[in-house]
């Protein structure tokens, strides 16, 4: 009988069952008993070694699974042998007549099927046992190394504690606090030293620096002893236990890394996808951002185009854009002559933000859109080629290039025909001399009426004043400007 539960293989009474099987055959079938015994001897020699493997690797799934297959081969062989001789007993023809034919078929099946399959499973058991032994050795070596390291740390900590116990226990901090408050004229050198120590403490707080101080007190004779002075100074240096600089520098990126991985896991649609994400986690923020953009690109050219345009607006914004402003900006193209509401992104606000993956976030308090972190902008400005599928596009974009593009869109928006029927007061103005003539003309003739228009004015003002004259987009867009295309807007007082 073969019992297997969680690969804890047990074959109780297998030897005794085989012995009883032998004795029954010996009484009824004479010479074939010796042949059957030879077959059993060819497959039963390894059983003691198999039982040793069971005891050595009780928690290893693979070798126990191979053992189960080998035991099953033996049981199947016994069942076939029992059926063979059972047919002979039930047959009306004597065994002497049909025994030779039945045995020949049984022997052929044993040689070509049972024995070969058992040998394959035996080799598999030996192989898995060897691998399990190697795994046990590796685990044991790691445990030993960890124990040695822990013991070394314990010994080092004990030495440190012993050294601290023999050093001076003078309360130097209390002396410092008392003298720190005596900062008035005539206090002397001690107060001056306390002030210096107070000023230098934040400056020398970095791990690579060390600072210690001591105050002699003539009312305490022990504090004047040289060993006390030196011991107190050494104690201050040993008690300093700051966070390592590299660890402190990576804390923020670690938290962001965990945040992005959790959001990625929450967006998984199946257990298999969750396991794939956990199996291949990115090693840092740069790789995390790269994977987010790769997923956006895999969603199709439409989404990557929308995400690219949205990220440019968010990066270029002089203030955080409200979601309504961003939605209206996404529908704007340089070739538009009027505002087309059919080009507005469909879906709710959350769906629009998800077009950027996790690179942009929506503040539900004021409905403003921001980048998830300032490192996202740094990544986009240095790895902007990931946002493009066209190899003809330059590999990297700079912030001035993006601002010029957004500035041109703002001018195109302000020149839409939707504003030509707007009623506004006609004001007289004097054109300023110099390079700002076009700016004065544009802002006096083109009204701003809605939320995005106000933002467009802000962007245009910044781009105009910060860009060189030859790169100002207004001059380019207004090169084809014709006064007769715009209706004079006036209102009676």
Q: What is the mean pLDDT of residues 191-209?
A: 79
Indicate if 21 and 64 belong to the same structural domain: yes
Indicate if 181 and 219 belong to the same structural domain: yes
Q: What is the mean pLDDT of residues 79-85?
A: 72
Indicate if 44 and 125 belong to the same structural domain: yes
Cα–Cα distance list, 65 to 44, 76, 78, 79 (Å): 18, 17, 20, 21
Is residue 30 in a domain?
yes
Q: What is the 3-state secondary structure (H, E, C) of 27-65?
A: HHHCCHHHHHHHHHHHHHCCHHHHHHHHHHCCCCHHHHH
The pLDDT assigned to 65 comes to: 79
Q: How far apart are CA 258 and CA 249, in angstroms?
A: 16
CB 127 within 8 A of CB 63: no
Angle value at C-alpha 298, between 292 and 299, nearest 5 degrees: 95
At 378, the pLDDT band (50, 70, 90 cuts) reads confident
The pLDDT assigned to 154 comes to: 92
Range of the domain at 115: 3-149
The pLDDT assigned to 94 comes to: 55
Q: How far apart are CA 33 and CA 26, in angstroms?
A: 5
Is residue 470 in a domain?
yes
Number of domains in the chain: 3
Is residue 288 in a domain?
no
CB atoms within 10 A of CB 380: 22
The pLDDT assigned to 7 comes to: 38
Handedness of CA 390, 395, 396, 401 (dihedral sign): negative
Cα–Cα distance list, 252 to 247, 249, 315 (Å): 10, 7, 21
Indicate if 73 and 17 belong to the same structural domain: yes
Indicate if 198 and 91 belong to the same structural domain: no
The pLDDT assigned to 155 comes to: 92
Indicate if 116 and 216 belong to the same structural domain: no
Question: Which secondary structure element, helix H or strand E, spans residue 320, and what is its range?
Answer: none
The pLDDT assigned to 152 comes to: 92
State if pTM tops 0.75. no
Indicate if 139 and 232 belong to the same structural domain: no
Is residue 342 in a domain?
no
At 2, the pLDDT band (50, 70, 90 cuts) reads very low
463 token code pair? 């781009």
Indicate if 15 and 54 belong to the same structural domain: yes
Of 221, 239, 257, the last residue of a domain is 239
Q: List pLDDT tens digits, range 443-471.
A: 455 444 455 555 555 555 555 455 554 44
Handedness of CA 167, 169, 170, 173 (dihedral sign): positive
The pLDDT assigned to 288 comes to: 83
Of 189, 215, 239, the last residue of a domain is 239
The pLDDT assigned to 422 comes to: 53
Answer whether residue 384 shows pLDDT above 70. Answer: no
Contacts of 458 (CB under 8 A, 6+ apart): 318, 319
Indicate if 182 and 61 belong to the same structural domain: no
Beta-sheet pairing, 360-363 with 368-371: antiparallel
Q: List pLDDT tens digits, range 290-318.
A: 888 888 888 888 888 888 888 889 988 88
Is residue 145 in a domain?
yes
Indicate if 194 and 235 belong to the same structural domain: yes
Indicate if 116 and 60 belong to the same structural domain: yes
CB 7 within 8 A of CB 66: no
Answer whether residue 33 shows pLDDT above 60. Answer: yes
The pLDDT mean for the chain works out to: 71
Q: How far apart are CA 130 and CA 125, in angstroms?
A: 9
Answer whether residue 3 shows pLDDT above 50. Answer: no
Is residue 334 in a domain?
no
Q: How far apart are CA 108 and CA 97, in angstroms?
A: 19
CB 442 within 8 A of CB 474: yes
Backbone angles phi, psi at 9, to 5 degrees: -80, 130
Is residue 292 in a domain?
no
Is residue 76 in a domain?
yes
Q: List pLDDT tens digits, range 388-444.
A: 544 333 345 678 888 888 888 888 888 888 777 555 565 554 544 444 545 555 545
Indicate if 74 and 199 belong to the same structural domain: no
Of 214, 239, 264, the last residue of a domain is 239
Please provide the distance, in angstroms rounded to a whole number, between the alpha carbons at the two ends of the chain.
108
CB 329 within 8 A of CB 312: no
The pLDDT assigned to 128 comes to: 80
The pLDDT assigned to 184 comes to: 56
């Amino acid at each position: 009988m073969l019992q297997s539960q969680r690969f804890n293989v047990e074959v109780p009474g297998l030897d005794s069952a085989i012995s009883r099987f032998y004795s029954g055959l010996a009484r009824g079938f004479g010479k074939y008993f010796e042949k059957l015994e030879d077959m059993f001897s060819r497959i039963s020699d390894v059983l003691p070694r198999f039982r040793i493997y069971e005891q050595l690797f009780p928690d290893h799934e693979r070798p126990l699974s191979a053992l189960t297959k080998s035991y099953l081969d033996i049981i199947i062989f016994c069942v076939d042998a029992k059926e063979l001789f059972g047919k002979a007993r039930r047959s009306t023809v004597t065994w002497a007549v049909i025994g030779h034919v039945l045995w020949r078929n049984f022997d052929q099946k044993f040689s070509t099927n049972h024995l070969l399959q058992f040998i394959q499973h035996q080799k598999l058991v030996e192989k898995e046992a060897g691998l399990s032994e190697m795994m046990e050795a590796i685990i044991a070596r790691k445990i030993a190394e960890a124990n040695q390291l822990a013991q070394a740390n314990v010994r080092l900590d004990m030495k440190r504690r012993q050294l601290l116990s023999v050093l001076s226990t003078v309360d130097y901090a209390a002396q410092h606090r008392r003298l720190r408050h005596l900062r008035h004229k005539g206090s002397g050198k001690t107060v001056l030293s306390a002030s210096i120590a107070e000023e230098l403490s934040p400056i020398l707080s970095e791990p690579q620096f060390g600072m210690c101080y001591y105050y002699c007190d003539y009312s305490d004779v022990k504090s004047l002893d040289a060993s006390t002075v030196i011991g107190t100074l050494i104690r201050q240096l040993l008690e300093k236990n700051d966070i390592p600089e590299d660890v402190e520098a990576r804390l923020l990126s670690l938290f962001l890394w965990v945040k992005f991985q959790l959001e990625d896991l929450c967006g998984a649609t199946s257990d298999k996808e969750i396991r794939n994400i956990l199996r291949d986690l990115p090693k840092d923020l740069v790789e995390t951002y790269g994977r987010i953009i790769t997923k956006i690109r895999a969603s199709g050219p439409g989404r990557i185009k929308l995400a690219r345009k949205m990220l440019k607006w968010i990066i270029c914004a002089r203030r955080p854009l409200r979601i309504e402003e961003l939605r209206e900006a996404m529908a704007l193209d340089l070739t538009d002559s009027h505002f087309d509401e059919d080009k507005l992104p469909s879906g709710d606000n959350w769906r629009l933000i998800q077009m950027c993956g996790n690179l942009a976030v929506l503040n539900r308090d004021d409905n403003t859109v921001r980048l998830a972190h300032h490192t996202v902008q740094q990544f986009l400005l240095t790895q902007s080629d990931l946002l493009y599928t066209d190899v003809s596009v330059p590999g990297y974009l700079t912030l001035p290039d993006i601002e010029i593009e957004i500035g041109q869109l703002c001018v195109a928006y302000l020149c839409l025909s939707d504003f030509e029927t707007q009623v506004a007061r006609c004001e007289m103005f004097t054109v300023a001399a110099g390079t700002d003539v076009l700016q004065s003309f544009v802002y006096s003739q083109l009204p701003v009426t809605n939320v995005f228009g106000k933002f467009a004015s802000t962007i245009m003002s910044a781009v105009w004043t910060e860009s060189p004259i030859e790169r100002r987009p207004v001059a380019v867009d207004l090169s084809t400007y014709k006064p007769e295309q715009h209706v004079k807007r006036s209102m009676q007082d």
